[in-house]
Structure 1
Amino acid sequence: MWSLSYHSQKYFCHGIVISSSSEIGISRRQALSQVDKELAKGDDKAALSLVKDLQGKPGGLRCFGAARQVPQRLYTLDELKLNGIEPVSLLSPVDATLGSIERNLQLASLVGGFAAWKVFEFNPQQVLFLSLGILFLWTLDLVSFNGGVGSLVLDTIGHTFSQKYHDRVIQHEAGHFLIAYLVGILPKGYTLSSLEALKKEGSLNVQAGTAFVDNEFLEEVNAGKVSATTLNRFSCIALAGVATEYLLFGYAEGGLDDINKVARTKLAEAMSMGTSVGSCIDIIEDAVKDADI
Structure 2
Amino acid sequence: MGVLAYYCNLSSCPSLRLSTFRIVGSSEIGVSRRQVLEQVDKELNKGDERAALTLVRDLQGKPGGLRCFGAARQVPQRLYTLDELRLNGIETTSLLSPDDATLGSIERNLQLAAILGGVAAWNAFGFSPQQILFISLGFLFLWTLDSVSFNGGVGSLVLDTIGHTFSQKYHNRVIQHEAGHFLIAYLVGILPRGYTLTSLDALKKEGSLNIQAGTAFVDFEFLEEANAGKVSATTLNRFSCIALAGVATEYLLYGYAEGGLADINKLDALLKGLGFTQKKADSQVRWSVLNTILLLRRHEAARGQLAEAMSLGKSVGSCIDIIEDNINDDDI
Deviations 1:10-69 (A, max 9, x none): 7xxxxxxxx322212222111100110011111111111111111111111110011132
Cα distance change of structure 1 residues 230 and 30 upon mapping to structure 2, 3 Å threshold: same
Q: What letter is aligned with 1:273?
A: L
Verify: 1:130 aligned to 2:138, yes or no.
no
- Map 1:210-289 onto structure 2 (within 5 A): 210-250=215-255, 258-261=298-301, 263-289=302-328
AA paired with 1:49?
A: T
Q: Return the letter of the residue paired with 1:242.
A: V
Q: Is the 8 A contact 1:28 1:59 kept in 2?
A: yes
Q: Is the 8 A contact 2:298 2:331 kept in 1?
A: no
Percent of pairs identical after alignment? 81
Question: How far apart in 1 are the matches of 2:232 and 2:99?
Answer: 32
Q: 2:158 aligns with which of 131, 153, 156?
A: 153
Q: Choose from 10, 13, 21 the match for 1:8.
A: 21
1:148 partner letter: G
Q: TM-score, normalised by structure 1?
A: 0.89
SS in 1 for 2:195: strand
SS of the residue corresponding to residue 211 of structure 1 reads strand
Distance 1:205 1:157 in 2: 18
Trace 1:1-293 onto structure 2 (pairs within 5 A). 7-9=20-22, 19-250=24-255, 258-261=298-301, 263-289=302-328
Q: Aligned-pair distance for 1:201?
A: 0.7
* Amino acid paired to 1:287: N
Cα distance in structure 2, aligned partners of 1:65 and 1:138: 44
Instruction: Letter of the 2:146 partner, please give it.
Output: D
Q: In the alignment, residue 136 of structure 2 is paired with which amino acid?
A: S
Residue 82 of structure 1 and its aligned partner are, at CA, apart by 4.7
Which runs of 5 or more structure 1 residues have no equivalent in the other structure?
1-5, 11-18
Distance 2:138 2:46 in 1: 44
- The structure with higher relative contact order (CA 8 Å, sep 6+) is 2
8 Å contact kept, 1:9–1:20 = no
Flag the 1:251–1:173 CA change in 2: closer, same or farther, 3 A. Answer: closer
- Relative distance call for 1:183 and 1:74 in structure 2 (3 A) is same
Q: 1:22 to 1:78 in 2, by over 3 A?
A: closer
Structure 1 stretches (4+) deviating beyond 6 angstroms? 290-293
1:13 aligned residue: none
- Please tell me whether the aligned partners of residues 161 and 200 of structure 2 are also in contact (alpha carbons under 8 angstroms): yes
TM-fit CA distance, 1:208: 1.1
Relative to structure 1, is the Cα distance of residues 291 and 274 closer, same or farther in structure 2, using a 3 angstrom cutoff?
A: farther
Q: Aligned letter for 1:258?
A: R
Separation in structure 2 between the aligned mates of residue 215 and residue 145 of structure 1, nearest angstrom: 25
CA distance in 2, matches of 1:143, 1:222: 27
Cα deviation for residue 98 of structure 1 reads 0.5
Shift in alpha-carbon separation, 1:229–1:291, aligned structure 2, 3 A: closer
CA contact 1:98–1:155 (8 Å) conserved in 2: yes
**Cα RMSD (Å) of the superposition?**
2.1
Instruction: Give the deviation of 1:72 after TM superposition.
Output: 2.2
Partner amino acid for 2:225?
A: E
* Secondary structure at 2:118 match in 1: helix
- Paired residues, what number? 278
2:172 is paired with a residue whose SS is helix
Tell me how far apart the structure 1 counterparts of residues 331 and 27 of structure 2 sit (CA, whole Å): 17
Q: Deviation of residue 122 (structure 1)?
A: 1.2
The answer as to whether partners of 2:36 and 2:55 remain within 8 angstroms in 1 is: yes
Instruction: Report if aligned partners of 1:148, 1:204 keep a CA contact under 8 Å in 2.
Output: yes
- In the alignment, what sits opposite 1:3? none
CA contact (8 A) 2:299 2:327 kept: no
